């Protein structure tokens, strides 16, 4: 069985010449299907850059990234947007919900771009919101929801398209302890039901939920902790 | 299927900021409405001019004096010239009315009124100008001979000076000289640039005696036997006047037919219409720039939202579509309201002119407003669509 994510010698450089910043310096990483991986590292270590590239939000300067066996390096912007839509669910630290738009509409958004019909869209979005325990909040707007609830809406949005991987960039970074527990609980359950989850964190308690933890130091994987 | 969803996003984007959308719409509204209304006003003016000129009849020649050429002397046009134009040498001329016009202030009791046109002529003048009498009588050839101080007034003068009373038989002071009103002309309506009813007509002799003196006539109005006889009549008139004025090369008078007059006046009003339309077009352009500005602001303000949409898989085309639809909806909505405002506004008389809507201008203004949305919206929209998702998400 091929891995969901296979990264070879990944490099990312911002700027050029003397002022160039090397965020990633030849990073290798493999994530198997159904895995629950935590990426840890100091700030500036390149872990966020890595996750952005894994989520196809950013493009690497060089190196190879195979997602679900597909080489993303040859993809143009149009095909990348398709990948983001079908294969990837991304959860941000700052939630990133569309403002002035109900939870339901936010969760439906990826399905709209996937061209799913209205009735089916509604059904799947409601199911996803039910999964994160927000069935009674579907018509609330982001500003009417607590941080934890907003993050749960964001998770529902990430998983509504049944993506190959769920990527989470410090999903509990802006949340209090109780909300964090809720969110991590949801991610645990997602993984338990077979979904591949990759998350970034700098908290050991969060990393403890993962099956495997990798540490990124200076743009490379420094070591694998079990 | 998906285009409706994207259109729904666009509508939601517009309704999320009603004030801003409303003001942008207002810009287009004013542009479109002013294009329609100003063109209608110009068109109304030219059709009024046309009407008033064709109201004079197509068998009319107007002779007016020309200034002397260098080295020559100009002879004045006289009543004798006018009389000489009707005779066996000019079988195609029916009448020739001598006309003088004067500046005059009329008064009745404590009321005064500056008469737009005070004209001295003969009774034929009324038939050549298609003027009918509404009450009282026209003056007669005998009145002209005797230089009686009688006057026939237009309906505007009648309502200004004699509100609520019958002017016929009343005394009226013209530049402090007493006249008697013998008749009131039927209303003709505005002729676009001047009020055709703000007029008073007195016998030629009286007018020259009392107001203008015995200089040159202002015009001689010649009526041909028929419209077909007009070229012949013009030739006969030219021969007679050349003989009387001993013209060798350049004539000291000018003959204009109604056709020429119409052409000249139409050209003037066309210039007027073009001028108005270009002012209106500029305001439409300003409205378009307003849309660009608002869309740029909207895009900048919503870069994060664009990032979110791209992160969940929105392709470039759908972002482009959403913002283009927003811009086009704004301008179409503004255009629609502008057409409504323009059509309603054109129902009112503006500066004495009854606007006449040109259907093609409505179509044009509406089409242009739709295109403005597409054209001016495309730059901000393509900027939005080109953003990389991570750059858009990082934008604060």
HEC profile of B98-159: EEEEEEEEEEECCEEEEEEEEEEECCHHHHHCCCCEEEECCCCHHHHHHCCCEEEECHHHHH
Residues of A (6-65) whose Cβ lies below 8 Å from B = 52, 55, 57-59
pLDDT band at residue A115 under the 50/70/90 scheme = confident
Residue B77 φ/ψ region, left for φ over 0, alpha for ψ in the -120 to 50 degree band, beta for the rest: beta
CA dihedral A171, A189, B311, A76 (to 10 degrees): 130
Q: Do A110 and B5 touch (CB under 8 A)?
A: no
Q: In Å, what is the CA distance from B349 to each residue of A213, B39, B45, B50, B189?
A: 82, 14, 11, 18, 12
B214 falls within a domain: yes
B58 part of a folded domain:
no
CA B188/CA B132 separation, integer angstroms: 9
Going from the C-alpha of A177 to that of each of A172, A181, B39, the distances in angstroms are: 9, 6, 69
B309 — contact with chain A (CB < 8 Å)?
yes
| The last residue of a domain, from among B190, B216, B251 | B251
Contacts of A77 in chain B (CB under 8 A): 316
Which residue in B has a C-alpha nearest to residue A87's C-alpha?
B313
Domain boundary among B190, B225, B251: B251
B272 sits in which H/E element? helix B258-301
Contact B369, B332 (CB under 8 A): yes
Of the partner residues B312, B316, B390, the one whose CB lies closest to the CB of residue A157: B312
pLDDT bracket for residue A123 (50, 70, 90): very high
At how many degrees (to 10) do helices A77-86 and B316-345 cross? Answer: 100
B315 touching chain A per CB within 8 A: yes
Beta bridge partners of B244: none
Q: Which of A58, A61, A81, A114 to mutate to test the interface with B (most CBs of B within 10 A)?
A: A81
Q: Is B305 on the interface with A (CB under 8 A)?
A: yes
Can you give the pLDDT at residue A36? Answer: 93
CA distance B322 to A93: 27
Alpha carbon distance B328, B373 (integer Å): 4
Q: Any chain B CB within 8 A of the CB of A75?
A: no
Q: What is the mean pLDDT of residues A2-29?
A: 88
Distance of CA B105 to the CA centre of its chain: 27
Q: What is the CA radius of gyration of chain B?
A: 32
DSSP code of B376? H
Residue numbers of A between 137 and 166 with CB closer than 8 Å to B: 157, 161
B135 with B181, same domain? yes
Residue B92 belongs to domain spanning: 67-251
Q: Phi first, then psi: what are they for A91, rounded to 5°?
A: -115, 125
Question: How far A226 CA lies from chain B's nearest CA (Å)?
Answer: 31
Partner-chain residue, chosen from A58, A85, A99, that has the shortest CB–CB distance to B312 = A85
pLDDT value for B190 = 57
CB atoms within 10 A of CB B176: 8
User: Would the CB atoms of B390 and A57 count as touching at under 8 Å?
Assistant: yes
Whole-prediction pTM: 0.66
Contact A57 B5 (CB under 8 A): no
Query: Do B90 and B206 reside in the same domain of the chain?
Result: yes
> From the list A81, A109, A157, which residue is nearest B315 (CB)?
A81
- Shortest Cα–Cα distance, A25 to chain B (Å): 20
How far apart CA B68 and CA A203 sit, in angstroms, is 105
Would you tell me how many other CB atoms lie within 10 Å of the CB of residue B45?
Answer: 27
Based on the domain organization, do B271 and B144 belong to the same domain?
Answer: no
Shared-domain flag, residues B233 and B372: no
Read off the DSSP letter of residue B77: P
Interface contact A119, partner B, CB < 8 A:
no
Identify which of B12, B311, B388 has the shortest CB distance to residue A90. B311
Residue-by-residue pLDDT tens, chain B, 396 positions: 477 888 888 888 788 778 888 888 888 888 888 888 888 888 787 777 777 666 666 678 888 887 766 666 677 888 888 888 888 878 888 888 888 888 888 888 888 888 888 888 888 888 877 778 888 888 888 888 888 889 998 888 888 888 888 888 888 888 888 888 999 888 876 555 567 788 889 898 888 888 887 778 888 888 888 777 777 888 888 888 888 887 777 778 888 877 777 677 777 777 877 887 788 778 778 777 877 787 788 778 888 888 899 999 888 888 888 888 888 888 888 888 988 988 888 787 777 677 777 888 888 888 887 887 788 778 888 887 888 888 888 876
B307/A78 CB distance under 8 A: no
Question: What does the alpha-carbon distance between residue A102 and residue A192 come to, in Å, rounded to a whole number?
Answer: 29
Q: Is the dihedral of CA B56, B60, B64, B70 positive or negative?
A: positive
| Distance (Å, whole) CA A94 – CA A175 | 10
Token reading at B71: 């080295």
Query: pLDDT tens, A135-188?
Result: 899 999 999 999 889 999 999 999 899 898 999 999 988 888 888 998 899 999
- B61 in a domain, yes or no? no
On chain B, the residues whose CB falls within 8 A of the CB of A100 are 12, 16
Residue with tokens 């007059």: B261
Name the residue with tokens 């700030």.
Answer: A43
Is B364 domain-assigned? Answer: yes
State whether B315 and A82 contact (CB < 8 Å): yes
Q: Which positions 166-225 of A are in contact with B (Cβ < 8 Å)?
A: none
B325 shares a domain with B213: no
Shortest Cα–Cα distance, B267 to chain A (Å): 57
Q: Are B30 and B104 contained in the same domain?
A: no
In angstroms, what separates the C-alpha of A4 from chain B's closest C-alpha?
Answer: 19
B166 in any annotated domain? yes
Q: Which chain B residue has the Cα nearest residue A52?
A: B390
A95 touching B (Cβ < 8 Å): no
How high is the ipTM of this complex?
Answer: 0.91
Give the count of domains, chain B: 2
| Closest chain B residue to the Cα of A155, Cα to Cα | B312
Mean pLDDT of A198-214: 90
Q: Decide if B60 is inside a domain.
A: no
For chain B positions 120-159, those within 8 Å of chain A (CB to CB) are none
Final residue belonging to a domain, choices B194, B227, B251: B251
B274 CB-side CA count, 13 A: 6
- Nearest 10 degrees: CA dihedral of B339, B345, B346, B350? -150
Residues B194 and B246 both lie in one domain: yes
SS (H, E, C) chain A: CCCCEEEEEEEEEECCHHHCEEEEEEEEEEECCCCEEEEECCCCCCHHHHHHHHCCCCCCCEEEEEECCEEHHHCCHHHHHHHHHHCEEEECCCCCCCCCCCHHHHHHHHHHHHCCCHHHHHHHHHHHHHHCCCHHHCCCCHHHCCHHHHHHHHHHHHHCCCCCEEEEECCCCCCCHHHHHHHHHHHHHHHHCCCEEEEECCCHHHHCCCCEEEEEECCEEEEEEC
Contact A46, A11 (CB under 8 A): no
Q: Are residues B112 and B229 in the same domain?
A: yes
Looking at the fold, whether B114 and B84 belong to one and the same domain comes out as yes
Distance between A207 CA and the closest CA of chain B, angstroms: 25
Residues B141 and B214 in one domain: yes
pLDDT at residue A225 tops 60 = no
Backbone angles phi, psi at B15, to 5 degrees: -75, -20
Per the prediction, chain B carries an average pLDDT of: 81
Same domain, yes or no, for B300 and B211? no
Q: Which two tokens stand for residue B263?
A: 């052409």
Cα angle value A96/A99/A101 (rounded, 5°): 115
Domains and CATH numbers, chain A: 5-72+79-225 (3.40.50.300)
Q: Does B219 reside within a domain?
A: yes
**Taking residues A12-25, what's their average pLDDT?**
87
The pLDDT of residue A14? 87
């Amino acid at each position: 069985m091929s891995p969901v994510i296979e990264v070879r010698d990944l490099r990312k450089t911002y700027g050029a010449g003397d002022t160039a910043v090397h965020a990633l310096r030849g990073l290798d990483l493999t994530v198997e299907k159904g895995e629950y991986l935590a990426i840890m590292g100091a700030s500036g270590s390149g872990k966020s850059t890595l996750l952005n590239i894994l989520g196809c939000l950013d493009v690497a300067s060089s190196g190879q990234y195979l997602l679900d066996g597909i080489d993303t390096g040859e993809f143009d912007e149009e095909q990348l947007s398709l990948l983001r839509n079908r294969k990837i669910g991304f959860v941000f630290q700052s939630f990133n919900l569309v403002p002035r738009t109900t939870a339901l509409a936010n969760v439906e958004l990826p399905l709209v771009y996937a061209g799913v019909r209205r009735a089916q869209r509604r059904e799947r979005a409601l199911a996803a919101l039910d999964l994160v325990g927000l069935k009674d909040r579907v018509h609330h707007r982001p500003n009417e929801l607590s941080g934890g609830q907003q993050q749960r809406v964001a998770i529902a949005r990430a998983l509504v398209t049944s993506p190959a991987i769920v990527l989470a960039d410090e999903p509990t970074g802006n949340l209090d302890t109780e909300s964090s527990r809720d969110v991590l609980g949801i991610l645990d359950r997602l993984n338990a039901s077979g979904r591949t989850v990759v998350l970034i964190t700098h908290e050991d308690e969060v990393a403890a939920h993962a099956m495997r933890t990798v540490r990124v130091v200076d743009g490379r994987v420094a070591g694998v902790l079990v | 299927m998906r285009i409706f969803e994207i259109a729904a996003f666009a509508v939601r984007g517009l309704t999320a900021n009603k004030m801003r959308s409303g003001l942008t719409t207002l810009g287009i509204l004013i542009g479109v409405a002013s294009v329609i209304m100003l063109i209608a006003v110009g068109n109304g003016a030219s059709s009024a001019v046309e009407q008033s000129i064709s109201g004079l009849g197509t068998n009319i020649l107007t002779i007016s004096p020309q200034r002397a050429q260098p080295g020559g002397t100009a002879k004045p046009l006289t009543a004798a010239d006018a009389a000489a134009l009707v005779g066996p040498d000019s079988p195609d001329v029916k009448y020739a009315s001598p006309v003088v016009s004067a500046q005059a202030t009329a008064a009745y009791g404590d009321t005064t009124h500056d008469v737009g046109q005070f004209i001295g002529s003969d009774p034929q003048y009324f038939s050549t100008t298609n003027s009918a009498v509404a009450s009282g009588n026209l003056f007669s050839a005998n009145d002209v001979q005797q230089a009686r101080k009688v006057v026939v007034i237009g309906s505007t003068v009648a309502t200004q000076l004699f509100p609520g009373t019958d002017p016929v038989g009343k005394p009226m002071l013209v530049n402090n000289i007493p006249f008697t009103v013998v008749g009131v002309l039927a209303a003709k309506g505005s002729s676009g640039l001047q009020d055709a009813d703000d007029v008073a007509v007195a016998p030629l002799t009286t007018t020259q005696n009392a107001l203008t003196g015995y200089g040159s006539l202002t015009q001689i109005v010649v009526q041909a036997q028929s419209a077909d006889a007009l070229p012949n009549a013009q030739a006969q008139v030219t021969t007679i006047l050349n003989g009387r004025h001993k013209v060798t090369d350049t004539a000291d008078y000018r003959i204009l037919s109604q056709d020429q007059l119409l052409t000249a006046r139409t050209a003037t009003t066309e210039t007027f219409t073009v001028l108005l339309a270009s002012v209106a077009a500029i305001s439409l352009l300003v409205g378009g720039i307003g849309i660009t500005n608002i869309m740029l602001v909207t895009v900048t303000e919503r870069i994060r939202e664009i990032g979110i949409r791209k992160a969940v898989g929105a392709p470039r085309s759908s972002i482009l579509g959403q913002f283009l639809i927003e811009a086009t909806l704004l301008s179409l909505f503004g255009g629609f309201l502008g057409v409504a405002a323009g059509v309603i506004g054109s129902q009112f008389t503006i500066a004495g002119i009854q606007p006449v809507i040109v259907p093609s201008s409505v179509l044009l203004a509406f089409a242009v407003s739709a295109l403005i949305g597409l054209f001016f919206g495309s730059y901000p929209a393509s900027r939005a669509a080109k953003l990389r998702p991570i750059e858009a998400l990082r934008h604060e």
